[in-house]
Structure 1
């Protein structure tokens, strides 16, 4: 059996997301399974070429996993004879110029979101990739999670009838960094470093709503900085200049209303850290990262409002779990495999840099809506 080696320049893998989800649970996991089987025979063997700012961190990471290719020079990494794909999971302000350099070097591009700090920048990247004839992809991992795959199955199967609304709850308490260490890096809370809830999460909500329910047509957002001062990784207090919570109302095609609350200053009283409830004329569903439960029209109970008596109905017990009906792999890994097949075998793939730009568009409009206090239309994007 033939094995084709493909070099992947991985920039930003010393960070939490780049290391855990993209290097370890995606690329190294593909290697551990013997490579990626290709249609028509043979396997694809991904060879990481690590790049970052800290030589010590890169060397330690490479030694830990038995990797041989690493450098602190992006130019050197892009010039590596094996390099065919550039992947970026850096902080957002560093992303745009690095992707431009990769496109100029003729590399296919796969990147975390947001793809750029502005819609103008995101569209320019999509245009440059198209003009250069390179393949591109933007990470849209939540589409490949078990709970949302089950939700998509319900939508495609017509379970809901006419969809009326979507309600989403996302978030958890991120410690301020004083008496307990914060679970997220401090740059997330500095607008000047590309932080902020809207910039981080609205790109996710765009592809989730577009890809599972219906295209987003308008947005109204309220942003808040609930915790105005935090403590960084060095124990130094700093001003939180970015929003740590966002409350959004989105109008979807077909008159569907979506409401999504996102907060790093909320304590969790849900089964999962993110949940979406979809209500339709024929049934409802609540989907999280892994699970999805449903209530059909025929089995919907008939609650009666009476504030003078305690509630006795077991509301949670009146829902039914959607079965797995299959095995689910890591969502990041699944999308990596699709992109790799797209690059080497021309397999279908629709989550390109233009799709990534749609997420940046919604974030930009969300921030503007929060500043101006008004609802804004979301126009179609074209190159």
Structure 2
């Protein structure tokens, strides 16, 4: 298969692992990169001489580039993806698909009219850990899923991120920041959701950056930093979800799935590996489960490579725009429910992504 040519917009912190991995997948070839800061794109070229540094306009105008990979900050996701679609290119972005759910729906409409694909991170659900869990569920190892828990807690990103302000502005917050990993994993494991109820609060109206280079800078908090609620899935399962930037310490599972015949401990959905454990009614104690699927190391970019291979084969790709938009609606529904005091019935659904075959992508 001839590699699909990719142009990357945004050469910030997250781009490093993408460039590292995408230069190894046989399904893709990264040929260009663009960033508002020329030094950032030049640093990429210095490390990967086969990649050319260009402006975003030049990248979009290049007829040989088939996929635009958007790694900009969330507030620019819709703008860049929309421009890529208008240029007749497939687009794949970092999470979330856009800041607003309405923009994500508009993006999908424009892509359908243009006959191009939309993909979106996270792709961690394609990794060894969660794919192994998916196989166990599909095989009936825990019976019928009846419930789940999902927890993300931290004291806040201002302790380590060099420019954490956007985490506390519209488009940020723990649910839009980390929620995509958790909800994408849950939809992959149990299928789409149909309703959400939630509560939310701002615990600290102002935060102080303690990381460098902005140590001591104050941040006014504009969005809820502690969000929790329940999600009802179409298959009848009910999940309890909490994401927080306000918790100093916790002993909580990342994700657990509870079935009629047992329970499943799911790895950190922000990672591709981590341990998988199962407890069944028959045995009554937790047991480690070896991976049944590849990609246990940090494989960010796997979703882009799968999209490229799926374009060539004509099959649906797994980290799809429809999945990302459905997840985004779920994430926003927590806040809408908190504001209204009512359960939110979801407008969208999506296909449960197909499992990733063991030998689908060549890497190395």
Matches within 5 A, 1:87-166: 87-166=69-148
Distance 1:68 1:282, change over 3 A: closer
Q: C-alpha separation between the residues in 1 aligned to 2:161 and 2:225? A: 13
> Quick check: 1:13–1:23 contact (8 Å CA) kept in 2?
no
Q: Take 1:68 and 1:28, find their aligned partners in 2: how far apart are those partners?
A: 10
- 1:281 paired residue among 248, 255, 260: 260
Partner of 1:255: 236
TM-score by length of 2: 0.85
- 1:356 pairs, out of 315, 324, 328, with 324
CA deviations on 1:4-43 (whole Å, 9 max, x unpaired) are 45431211222x22333x222x21233xxxxx1xxxxxxx
- Following the alignment from structure 1 to structure 2, what is the Cα–Cα distance between the partners of residues 335 and 176? 29
SS of the counterpart of 1:258?
strand
- 2:181 is matched with which residue? 204
Structure 1 equivalent of residue 33 of structure 2: 50
- Does the aligned pair in 1 maintain the 2:148–2:239 contact within 8 Å? yes
Please say if residues 6 and 82 of structure 1, whose CA atoms lie closer than 8 Å, have aligned partners that are also in contact.
Answer: no
Is 1:18 aligned to residue 2 of structure 2? no
Distance change (3 Å), C-alpha of 1:162 and 1:345 = closer
Paired residue for 1:64? 47
CA RMSD of aligned residues (A): 2.4
Q: Distance in 2 between matches of 1:226 and 1:176?
A: 15
1:344 aligns with 2:341: no
Using the TM superposition, give the Cα deviation of residue 155 of structure 1 relative to its aligned residue in structure 2, in angstroms: 0.9
Label 1:381 to 1:219 Cα distance change in 2 as closer, same or farther (>3 A).
Answer: same
**Partner-residue secondary structure (3-state), 2:111:** helix
Structure 1 residue 357: deviation in Å? 1.4
Q: Which residue of 2 aligns with 1:241?
A: 222
Return the alpha-carbon distance in structure 2 between the equivalents of residues 326 and 370 of structure 1: 39
Match of 1:294 in 2: 278
Distance verdict in 2 for CA 1:255–1:269, change over 3 Å? same
CA shift, 1:176, in A, is: 4.1
- Whole-angstrom CA distance in 1 between matches of 2:295 and 2:95: 23
SS of structure 2 residue aligned to 1:168:
strand
Q: CA deviation at 1:359?
A: 1.9
1:190 alignment partner in structure 2: 169
1:221 alignment counterpart: 198
Task: Please give the per-residue CA displacement for 1:247-281, whole angstroms capped at 9, x wherever unaligned.
Answer: 1211122432100111233345559xx62111222
- Following TM superposition, by how much is the alpha carbon of 1:82 offset from its aligned partner in structure 2, in angstroms? 3.0
Pairwise CA distance, 1:158: 0.7
Instruction: Flag the 1:79–1:214 CA change in 2: closer, same or farther, 3 A.
Output: closer
8 Å CA contact 1:197–1:245 kept in 2: the answer is yes
Q: Mind listing any 5+ residue stretches in structure 1 that lack a counterpart?
A: 31-35, 37-43, 301-317
Is 1:27 aligned with 2:22?
yes
How far does residue 151 in structure 1 lie from its aligned partner after superposition? Answer: 1.6
Q: Equivalent residue for 1:312? A: none
For structure 2, which runs of at least 5 residues remain unmatched after alignment? Answer: 269-273, 351-364
Compute the displacement of 1:122 (Å): 0.8
Q: TM-score, normalised by structure 1?
A: 0.81
- Contact between 2:93 and 2:120, CA under 8 Å: does it hold in 1? yes
CA distance in 2, matches of 1:62, 1:374: 51
Alpha carbons 1:12, 1:89 under 8 Å: kept: yes
Could you say what secondary structure the match of 1:299 adopts? coil
8 Å contact from structure 1 (residues 13, 19) kept in 2: yes
What's the counterpart of residue 358 of structure 2? none
CA positional deviation for 1:368 = 0.8
Are the aligned partners of 2:11 and 2:35 in contact in 1 as well (CA < 8 Å)? yes
Largest Rg, 1 or 2: 1
Counterpart Cα distance in 2 of 1:117 and 1:364: 10
User: 3-state DSSP class of the match of 1:126?
Assistant: helix
Aligned to 1:40: none
